[in-house]
């Protein structure tokens, strides 16, 4: 068993185990199961009940607020074949895994029907679909988390995608790399280096404290890849200029460019994370005033259906 597979099994699951680990009674079982990798839990300041990493994995008390739904982006409405989402003309997204290394309590896909939407088991239909549309030049691997797959399964999937000669770009969206840095294996780096596809690796990092020494060291193994980051603007986590500025600077230090700063996708149970559009706009203007342009992520809101709105 690989080192990262062992680490992926070292997790805090459920309120009781989490309360015991953090010496608190604040964790409660709610709709989305608690799952915290031990590597991530060890980055949390146990003496700080408002630690920004802790707040991302601790279920929040539900409050009544309009506009929050079970499936805010209605992904299944844009799924012409199981396991594939096609919202934009030139690119498709594959649901490559139902597993995530961590359960972020604001996750917009926490109610998604992964059982029916698995790209690997539905590959024959997906292959036919992509083969009939030469406008598709980019394939995005998502989930769950695509890097919850083994290196061998990931390599096979990438080779299958390479068979479409009009597909030139492979984009991988992952949180695994930062929450379990040992997932960055030598073989993973080799897979990404040898593919003919242009690889864009999009990390999901919301706070500078998530960027550990282990992550900073391991990410350097991956070469000839474009690194971007997308964050979610979360109340009590990163909704202040100091946190956002430090995140951009620390990302750049390890070779990752800030890409998107997402407004919260309004999934039921995440109401306490919501930051108003007015506050988000003010924070973004402050970022523009204090950072070089390439360090300022685009502030966006996903409208579901078929579009993103650039707020600034």
Q: What is the mean pLDDT of residues 38-66?
A: 93
Distance separating alpha carbons of residues 77 and 179, to the nearest angstrom:
31
Pairing state of beta strands 169-174 and 138-142? parallel
Q: What is the pLDDT of residue 116?
A: 82
22: region left, alpha or beta (phi > 0 left; psi from -120 to 50 alpha): alpha
Q: What is the mean pLDDT of residues 248-256?
A: 98
pLDDT digits (tens, 9 = 90+) for 272-299: 999 999 999 999 999 999 999 999 999 9
CB within 8 Å of 74: residues ≥ 6 apart: 304, 305
Q: Is the dihedral of CA 220, 46, 272, 33 positive or negative?
A: positive
DSSP string, 121-151: TTHHHHHHHHHT-TT--EEEEESS-GGGS-H
Taking the CA atoms of the chain, what radius of gyration do you get in angstroms?
19
- 3-7, 29-33, 47-51, 197-201: lowest mean pLDDT where? 3-7
Confidence of residue 306 (pLDDT cuts 50, 70, 90): low
pLDDT digits (tens, 9 = 90+) for 109-160: 888 887 788 899 999 999 999 999 999 999 999 988 999 999 999 999 999 9
Nearest C-alpha neighbor of 138 from the set 190, 86, 194, 205: 86
How far, CA to CA in Å, does 199 sit from each of 168, 177, 204, 211?
9, 15, 16, 22
Q: What is the pLDDT of residue 56?
A: 98
pLDDT digits (tens, 9 = 90+) for 53-98: 999 999 988 787 888 988 888 888 899 999 999 999 999 999 999 9
Check: CATH 3.90.650.10 for 64-310? no
Single pTM value for the model: 0.95
Nearest C-alpha neighbor of 39 from the set 49, 27, 26, 53: 53
Q: What is the mean pLDDT of residues 210-233?
A: 97
């Amino acid at each position: 068993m690989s080192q990262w597979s062992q680490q992926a099994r070292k997790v805090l699951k459920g309120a009781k185990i989490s309360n015991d680990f953090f010496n608190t009674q604040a964790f409660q079982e709610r709709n989305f199961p608690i799952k915290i990798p031990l590597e991530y839990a060890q980055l949390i300041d146990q003496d700080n009940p408002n630690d920004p990493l802790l707040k991302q994995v601790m279920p929040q008390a539900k409050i009544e607020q309009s506009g929050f739904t079970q499936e805010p982006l209605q992904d299944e409405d844009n799924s012409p074949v199981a396991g594939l989402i096609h919202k934009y003309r030139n690119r498709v997204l594959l649901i490559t895994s139902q597993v995530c290394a961590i359960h972020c309590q604001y996750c917009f896909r926490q109610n998604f029907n992964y059982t029916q939407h698995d790209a690997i088991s539905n590959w024959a239909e997906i292959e036919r679909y992509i083969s009939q549309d030469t406008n598709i030049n980019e394939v995005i691997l998502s989930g769950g988390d695509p890097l919850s797959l083994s290196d061998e399964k990931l390599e096979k999937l990438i080779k299958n995608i390479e068979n479409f000669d009009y597909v030139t770009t492979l984009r991988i969206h992952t949180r695994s790399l930062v929450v379990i840095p040992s997932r960055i294996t030598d073989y993973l780096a080799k897979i990404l280096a040898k593919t003919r596809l242009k690889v864009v690796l999009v990390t999901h990092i919301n706070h500078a404290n998530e960027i550990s020494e282990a992550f900073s060291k391991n990410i350097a193994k991956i070469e000839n890849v474009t690194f971007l980051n997308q964050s979610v603007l979360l109340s009590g986590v990163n909704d202040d200029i100091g946190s956002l500025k430090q995140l951009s600077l620390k990302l750049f230090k390890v070779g990752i460019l800030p890409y998107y700063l997402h407004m919260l996708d309004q999934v039921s149970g995440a109401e306490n994370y919501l930051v108003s559009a007015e506050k988000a706009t003010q924070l973004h203007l402050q970022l523009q005033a204090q950072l070089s342009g390439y360090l300022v992520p685009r502030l966006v809101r996903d409208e579901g259906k078929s579009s993103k709105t650039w707020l600034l």
